[in-house]
Structure 1
């Protein structure tokens, strides 16, 4: 909906009005949505519409959440597993960011990268990533290296695409202005294209933060090890679905921590971007 508003100069402008649902405060909306989902979940399990082996009750899941939390706080084996997964996620994200940014600059700045490298990257990205897990395990073993390689492999492509797109974000007039004052190609890249493209680059990093989590857990689930993914596989093999749900929820906290760390860094370096003001998800 839109409404008519009059400015101080007497001009008439159209102002877009928020829908009624958009006027609800974020905190209220999030709490309401959470309560609604849990209520529906509880109803489904109480009515017996889904087997408890497949979908545990909210109460059972809460009990396992407390068990896992107590195990983590006591420094027991689950804390070691969480630390292993955290390190794997951290290393994978750093490697994906480094490789993705380098390839993105190559694709965005050179004809060779755009014409020769990019088609191969697209072809590789269309392949099912999970199918590469056995290969990485065969090449690198059952340790942390194979999980890092798989997760970085999954998360690299979004950074490549966003970096290349960011380098094209500067307008032709801006590039011509830099050329007219004698700026070199490297100066244009460092002082114009990269600062202008930072919002695009951080978008790719946020997508990669989500992809890294999926890659690490997939690697741990399929390739063993000592991480949370291995605990999920063990619990699933025992048909302990409340434990599986609890472990997944704690992993989501780890994923959110990485995602919002990227958002925090973006707000420090791209403070001029209006779409990233406090209150925005990212």
Structure 2
């Protein structure tokens, strides 16, 4: 009961803080007579959102799908690559420098190549979302797999289980908190990647909404799309935080 009360209180504080910021924003825009093209008040942004809710929902859904596709691919391939890096020193020596080099390249610079290779559909957006998110999964998973306590490693050697059994029944469960931490980082990065892909070439998605609104100096529409992106990011991060609490109750206080 106390935990539920604490969560409710935290949610209420966050909501009140958000409403205070919006009220201050609205008041300052009117008091300082800021031009709407420079900074629209929250009331204008809300009016823009409710003017075409179905249209905005369609673009938000497209961005969500490409984000989730890139995120799921990053988790699958990221965990698999991390397992190979930990399990094989040869693979680590050969591949890890390449992974670091690829992560160092600005994704905006290579986004046009994905459009050339894959066309203007959803594929390049998914590829960019995957490429931006996968490094966080790899790094955190490798860290988790290598952070198994020494006493657990000793117990595994005493029991003389197979290397594969030990890996999947001991190392992977011990690495789960780190993997979930990487996933929380990766979901935000995947959303950024999807938007980058939509900036480069798209006729759908919230990134497209922002770029088209920029061309017509429709600042309220830009802020409306940004609000939906922020809301999407909060919901996705919150969903993973909820999964983390359920999957690792011994690590995350509830």
* CA displacement at 1:49 relative to structure 2: 7.2
Residues 142, 108 of structure 1: alpha-carbon distance in 2 compared, 3 angstrom cutoff = same
Alignment length (residue pairs): 248
* CA displacement at 1:122 relative to structure 2: 1.4
Pair 1:211 & 2:211 matched: no
Q: Give the distance between the partners of 2:12 and 2:230, measured in 1 at CA.
A: 21
* CA displacement at 1:269 relative to structure 2: 2.2
Output the TM-score relative to the length of structure 2.
0.89
What aligned pairs does 1:1-282 form with structure 2 within 5 A after superposition?
25-48=9-32, 50-68=34-52, 71-72=53-54, 77-273=55-251, 275=252, 277-278=253-254
* Structure 2 unaligned regions, length at least 5: 1-8
* Structure 1 unaligned regions, length at least 5: 1-24
Per-residue Cα deviation, 1:91-130 (whole angstroms, up to 9, x for no partner): 1111111111111111222212332221221122122111
Moved over 4 A (4+): none
Higher helix share: 2
Per-residue Cα deviation, 1:48-76 (whole angstroms, up to 9, x for no partner): 375431211122112112224xx22xxxx
- Report if the CA contact (8 A) 1:108-1:163 is conserved: no
- Which gives a bigger RCO, structure 1 or 2 (Cα 8 Å, sep 6+)? 2
CA RMSD after TM alignment:
2.1
The farther-off stretch of 90-99 and 249-258 is 249-258
- Report if the CA contact (8 A) 2:140-2:178 is conserved: yes
Q: Give the distance between the partners of 2:235 and 2:224, measured in 1 at CA.
A: 17
- Report if the CA contact (8 A) 2:209-2:221 is conserved: no
DSSP 3-state at the match of 1:231: helix
Q: Give the distance between the partners of 1:260 and 1:43, measured in 2 at CA.
A: 30
Q: Give the distance between the partners of 2:139 and 2:125, measured in 1 at CA.
A: 23
Q: Give the distance between the partners of 2:138 and 2:12, measured in 1 at CA.
A: 37
